[in-house]
Amino acid sequence: MEKIHIGIFGLRRGESFIDNLTANGAEIVAVCERDETVINERKDALEGIALYNDFDKFIEHPMDAVVLANYFAEHTPYAIRCLEKGLHVLSECTSNGTMAQGVELVRAAEKSKAVYMLAENYPFMLFNKEMKRVCDGGTLGRILYAEGEYNHPFNMYDGEAAASLAPHENHWRNYLPRAYYITHSLAPIMYATGSVPVRVTAMAASNEIPSDCSAARYVSDAAAIITTLNNDGSVFKVTGCAAFGAHSNSYRICGANGQIENIRGMGEKIMLRYNNWQIPEGMQETNCYDPEQSEEDAELSKNAGHGGGDFFVTREFLECIRTGKKPPFDVYFATTMASVAILAHRSILNGNQPYDIPDFHKEEDRVKFENDHDMPIPLSDGTQPNIPCNSRPCTPSELQKENYRKAIELYIKK
């Protein structure tokens, strides 16, 4: 099998792709990381790989594809540069930070012969793959409703966590609206059901940040509760990246005949239930079980991040390059999810107003958003937000800022 030569842009997250890509028959030939300290820390592990801190030089390195693992909401310009050069793109989440960027990305992808795929890994977790298998089998009947919950709270008094997640005050995580990091909650149920959101509304579950904690965030909302109407008449309810209760990744899909869900706090375990008059042959009314996978897949993915999802998403990307098949999370899938996120936050800011989700297959929908540059997150080039990032004003206290700076000094600059 011919090696596919890969470059990685952004080493903090991108380093985790290296083993999964090589396990799937790719070769890492170049890495680009702007932070010289990160490069210096990892030089020994990257022996034999060309190292760059300038994207313009990096993109000229001989390679077939690029993994974009730079800052959240800053992938689009680099994806477009790669697509214009004919380089295949595996882009971290989210695909685009503004609606206008979504338009630009789709237009660039349509002009390019290269593969564009979002590096969304949660649909490839074992229980989510099982949900897709059951949905594809048709025993649930017509899909009517689904839920996706990505709940990722952290201890705001944990200075090391605060500093490692956001190593400087203008870091995107300090401003990230709860609706924006939607891919882990929405992608699995979109992938399993095939339903595509066409209308969205959202509400924020608001909270307070302790005034003496070690985090200095501008977002106090604990969750965005997002509801979508879909192209087949079904309805989704999802969170973005939420922060309430216990950590969990929870999904539930309901059809006319039955429902399937992963059981919170029970590892990979699935609960599959049917109406007692619509039980398929060989099944029970209630079926509780651990999904199966091949021994080979279990062995290859056992050390991959996100429940094995990191391994399978890289395998899927490389197979698309080798065979020419359509990526499961192509540019339309990716920009639909980004549109849900962006417009859900807009709904929160505007009294829970509903918004239609554009279909970026259609030029008439693209034109409506090609000049929509609203952004709630500061960018690494110094561009500042032009809309709020929280449902209500939220500014870190001076004590929070002081504690946060001390944490950065202690854990990042040591």
What HEC string does 23-64 produce? HCCEEEEEEECCCHHHHHHHCHHHCCCEEECCHHHHCCCCCC
Residue 301 or residue 168, greater confidence:
168
Burial code (b: 16+ CB inside 10 Å, e: under 16) for 261-281 equals: bbeeeeebebebbbeeeebee
d(CA 228, CA 334): 16
pLDDT value of position 37: 82
Q: What is the mean pLDDT of residues 263-284?
A: 95
* Per-residue pLDDT at 280 exceeds 70: yes
Assign a CATH topology to domain 123-294+331-369: Dihydrodipicolinate Reductase; domain 2 (3.30.360)
User: Do 320 and 327 meet the contact criterion of CB atoms below 8 Å apart?
Assistant: yes
d(CA 148, CA 189): 7
pLDDT value of position 245: 85
User: Do 151 and 212 meet the contact criterion of CB atoms below 8 Å apart?
Assistant: no
Residue 1 banded pLDDT, cuts 50, 70, 90: low
Q: Do domains 4-118 and 123-294+331-369 have the same CATH topology?
A: no
Question: How would you classify the pairing of strands 4-9 and 65-68?
Answer: parallel
4-118 in CATH: which number? 3.40.50.720
Residue 414 banded pLDDT, cuts 50, 70, 90: low
Q: Which residues face 150 on adjacent strands?
A: 241, 249
**Count of CA atoms in the C-beta half-sphere (13 A) of 308:** 18
Give the domain ranges of the chain. 4-118, 123-294+331-369
Q: What is the mean pLDDT of residues 221-228?
A: 98
Judge residue 25's burial from the number of C-beta atoms within 10 Å of its C-beta, 0-12 exposed, 13-18 middle, 19 or more buried: middle
User: Do 223 and 178 meet the contact criterion of CB atoms below 8 Å apart?
Assistant: yes
Instruction: Taking the CA atoms of 175, 177, 180 and 183 in sequence, report the sign of the dihedral they define.
Output: positive
pLDDT value of position 307: 66
d(CA 178, CA 219): 8
Q: What is the mean pLDDT of residues 165-191?
A: 96
- Look up the pTM and report it: 0.96
| pLDDT, tens digit, 9 for 90 and up, residues 56-81 | 999 999 999 999 999 999 999 999 99
Q: What is the mean pLDDT of residues 114-142?
A: 97
High-pLDDT (> 70) share of the chain, % = 97
Name the least confident of 66-75, 123-132, 173-182, 289-298.
Answer: 289-298
* Per-residue pLDDT at 2 exceeds 90: no
pLDDT value of position 249: 94
Task: Give the mean pLDDT of the chain.
Answer: 94
Helix (H, G, I), strand (E, B) or coil at 7: strand
pLDDT value of position 253: 98
* Per-residue pLDDT at 288 exceeds 60: yes
pLDDT value of position 174: 97
Closest to 119 in 3D by CA, of 72, 51, 166: 72
Q: What is the mean pLDDT of residues 231-242?
A: 97
Residue 212 or residue 307, greater confidence:
212
* Per-residue pLDDT at 413 exceeds 70: no
Helix (H, G, I), strand (E, B) or coil at 83: helix
pLDDT value of position 36: 83
| pLDDT, tens digit, 9 for 90 and up, residues 242-251 | 999 889 999 9
* Per-residue pLDDT at 172 exceeds 80: yes
**Three state DSSP letters for 112-142:** CCCCEEECCCHHHCHHHHHHHHHHHHCCCCC
Helix (H, G, I), strand (E, B) or coil at 148: strand
Cα–Cα distance list, 290 to 112, 126, 143, 264 (Å): 42, 9, 23, 13
User: Do 195 and 142 meet the contact criterion of CB atoms below 8 Å apart?
Assistant: no
* Per-residue pLDDT at 345 exceeds 90: yes
Cα–Cα distance list, 169 to 12, 19, 103, 215, 408 (Å): 18, 31, 30, 10, 9
Q: What is the mean pLDDT of residues 11-21?
A: 90
* Per-residue pLDDT at 388 exceeds 80: yes
Q: What is the mean pLDDT of residues 194-220?
A: 96
Helix (H) / strand (E) containing 4: strand 4-9
Instruction: Indicate the DSSP class of residue 173.
Output: G
